[in-house]
Amino acid sequence: MSKIKPSQGAPYARIMGVGGYRPTRVVPNEVILETIDSSDEWIRSRSGIATRHWASDQETVAAMSVEASGKAIADAGITPEQIGAVIVSTVSHFKQTPAIATEIAHKVGAGKPAAFDISAGCAGFGYGLTLAKGMIVEGSAQYVLVIGVERLSDLTDLSDRATAFLFGDGAGAVIVGPSKVPAIGPTVWGSEGDKSETIKQTVAWDTFHAERPEKFPAITQEGQAVFRWAVFEMAKVAQQALDAAGIAPEDLDVFIPHQANMRIIDSMVKTLKLPEHVTVARDVETTGNTSAASIPLAMERLLATGQAKSGDTALVIGFGAGLVYAATVVTLP
């Protein structure tokens, strides 16, 4: 017989607060057109993006995360000292070690929580949310700070016509805590590694170190292949998440997909046959693709503008490099 004491966690977990930070510099398509042969009309028709935010030297991955986290902590009504774990999803923190989560934990005043980074691209927020839920239910933390943050302007090749207009910077954060009722559904997640070359870094860090190519590593993607995968496969994953939570499309109040591309979002809405009453996040128009930050940033904006309200049932789904994905149904804070 095991002598290990059983875990004493909460029966369920929920999102208690949300916060976001967008860099002060707003970059319209006209700036992008200075380096690629395209047009504002083409960019809008292909992606739905009109503007994006680019970080200054002072708006680091850590600085943006601290700002977003402070808002999430205040929104949740807890103190930083109550945070038992900090999870940061990012692909644009350029130090392999230490994890940026440790610096953020210190700067928000979280004491001595568990702190680590994860790399799951645009699905990273969903991965972090699932890990946080497990910690709450298992009993290893009472409150978990989950952050999605990117400075993708650092990894953007402004001469690449296929990607120069896509990416933006920003940070989104949530506090996950205990709940007496189900408020974060089962996560449908996975990967398709046979497609890992469709979104990738152009040059590996070890190659860059050894050969010092002319161009700094950047993100590139096979746009059509990614579009087809997202439209046809991610709608299936979204439906699986609804089924796992016992939710029908008509029961939803809000749909918050990864803000990759307006055409992908609209296609998913159509494929899922979402009713007209469902509010759909379309933050991509003014924020661009912020990878792991896109879902919490979109969630924060919907709540701040009144397009969504506390207690609403929302389907969230992230998908991207890997190719990886994560979808779940949540109750909004």
**Residues with Cβ < 8 Å from 257, sequence gap 6 or more?**
234, 238, 264, 265, 268, 280, 281, 295, 316, 317, 318
Q: At 294, which helix (H) or strand (E)?
A: helix 294-305
Query: Helix, strand, or coil here: 27?
Result: strand
Determine the length of the chain: 333
- Residue 209 falls in the annotated catalytic set: no
Please tell me which residue in 53, 93, 258, 261 is annotated as part of the active site. Answer: 258
Please tell me which residue in 122, 209, 261, 277 is annotated as part of the active site. Answer: 122
- Residue 258 falls in the annotated catalytic set: yes
Are 219 and 202 in contact by the 8 Å Cβ rule? The answer is: yes
Instruction: Give the N- to C-terminal CA distance of the chain in Å, as an integer.
Output: 41
- Residue 53 falls in the annotated catalytic set: no
Work out the angle at residue 107's Cα, subtended by the Cα atoms of residues 102 and 110, and round it to the nearest 5 degrees.
75
Q: What is the DSSP string of 307-325?
A: SS-TT-EEEEEEEETTTEE
The span from the CA of 7 to the CA of 139, in Å, is: 6
Catalytic residue numbers read: 122, 258, 289
